[in-house]
Amino acid sequence: MIRVLYALARKGQETILDSLCLKGNLAAMPRQLRIQYPGALYHITARGDRREEIVHDDGDREMLLATLAEACKKTQWEVLAWVIMDNHYHWLVRTPKPNLVAGMSWFQGTYTQRYNARHRVWGHLFGGRYKAIPVQPQEAGGGDYLKTLMDYIHLNPVRAKMVKSEQGLGLLDYRWSSLTQGYASPPGKRSKWLKVDEGLKIFGLPDTVAGRRRFIERLEERVRKEKSKECGLPMEAVCKGGQSTLRRGWFWGARSFEEWLRGRVREGGSKPEGHALRMSAESRACHDEEEAEQIVVGGMKCLHLKEAELKTTVGSDPRKVAIAQAVHEKTAVARKWTAARLEMKSAMNVSQQIKRLRTGEIKLPKEAKQWLSRIVS
């Protein structure tokens, strides 16, 4: 059905799409829109298959967070808020480049592989498709919506009764959120991809000890004043005239933001996932491969590795491994592309050589080490 709607919208026959959007029916369709554009903000969430756990212990939580950090490094994503629950997660993410689909494909697939390897299981970990709801940015008048969404994310542990306030516990007693691992910490002790200063600015607070303390105190006040089941849910006063729920719907913002998004669909600047996305997969892959190619060419020049030498040097050559590691760190291209480009036999061999580099089995010459450090920093 989405394909038909998109075809109609492309021909200028917008009445069906408009009607469905206004009634909120796009949220109930089998496939939601995947709207991608530079600087887009998204509320991203995904649940475990059959609502089962996606993390079983702190080792899993650390692994999920490390995988998110890798995804941010590859894609240049910026995170304003996050929380890891037992069977799902929530992020508020900005994508400076229109690479939501490529980045999420890498993240979900990579974490699933790592989880399965750690627990010696196989099969799907996440149930269905992840949700990525476009969010109205502050500069476009979305300040109140962002405040509500950030509170919703940070107060999730309270709503799930994972923070026992009746036992004297506070929000900072739940370790696995950006509140504890970001908003409670000074700049030097938090991840570069977590934009705490911007999150505080949304609430009119400075990134100082006093500003961060006030941010946390305000949330604790909400916990005390509201019932646990209501904590973090949007108030009608905030949502009047716009999207009325964070848990359903295809956007989060005012009606003007909805109109702007639908305008992008009509113009063909963004396409619904499904047939249209499969048709554009080649162009997305080309974009990633262009970035990877720039790294390869730059690395070969710096490390004095000629194109003709690729076929005659072994896959474990430190120069090849350094370039492969840089490509893996900075892009979302498949390992098979790296294997073919650097003549490293197979995707599995690329993975093995990168692992050997990380464990110290492969030693890089000083020049290669300096180049790699400069590229991935």
Instruction: Report whether pLDDT(241) > 60.
Output: no
Question: For 54-79, what is the mean pLDDT?
Answer: 96
- Please state, rounded to an integer, the average pLDDT across all residues of the chain: 81
CB 100 within 8 A of CB 46: no
Task: Please tell me the distance from the alpha carbon of residue 241 to that of residue 336, in angstroms, as a whole number.
Answer: 49
Nearest to 76 by CA among 31, 38, 28: 38
User: Tokens representing 67?
Assistant: 């995988």
Residue-wise pLDDT for 69-80, tens only, equals 999 999 999 999
Q: Which of 41, 35, 39 is nearest to 21 (CA)?
A: 35
Residue 103, SS3 per DSSP: helix
Q: What is the pTM of this model?
A: 0.67
Which of 27-31, 161-165, 348-352 is predicted most confidently? 348-352
Strand order in the sheet with 78-84: 78-84, 88-95, 40-47, 131-135
Q: Does domain 34-251 have CATH number 3.30.70.1290?
A: yes
Percent of the chain clearing pLDDT 90 (strictly above) = 53
Vertex 259 angle, CA 274 and 195, to 5°: 80
Res 99: pLDDT: 93
| Chain centroid offset of residue 125 CA | 17
Instruction: Round to whole Å and give the CA distance between 322 and 326.
Output: 6
Burial classification of residue 222, based on how many CB atoms lie within 10 Å of its CB (0-12 exposed, 13-18 middle, 19 or more buried): middle
**Where are the alpha helices (H) located in the chain, listed in sequence order?**
2-10, 15-23, 58-75, 100-119, 143-154, 156-159, 178, 196-202, 209-225, 236-239, 255-267, 275-302, 318-330, 335-341, 347-358, 366-376
Q: What pLDDT is recorded for position 11?
A: 34
The answer to whether the beta carbons of residues 342 and 324 sit under 8 Å apart is yes
Give residue-wise pLDDT tens across range 165-189: 666 678 899 999 999 999 999 999 9
List all residues 6 or more positions away from 239 whose beta carbon is below 8 Å from its beta carbon.
145, 148, 245
| Tens of pLDDT, residues 100-129 | 999 999 999 999 999 999 999 998 999 888
**Residues forming a β-bridge with 91:** 44, 82
Q: Dmax over Cα atoms in the chain, in whole Å?
A: 70
Q: Cα dihedral sign for 314, 317, 319, 323?
A: positive
What pLDDT score does 286 carry?
A: 57
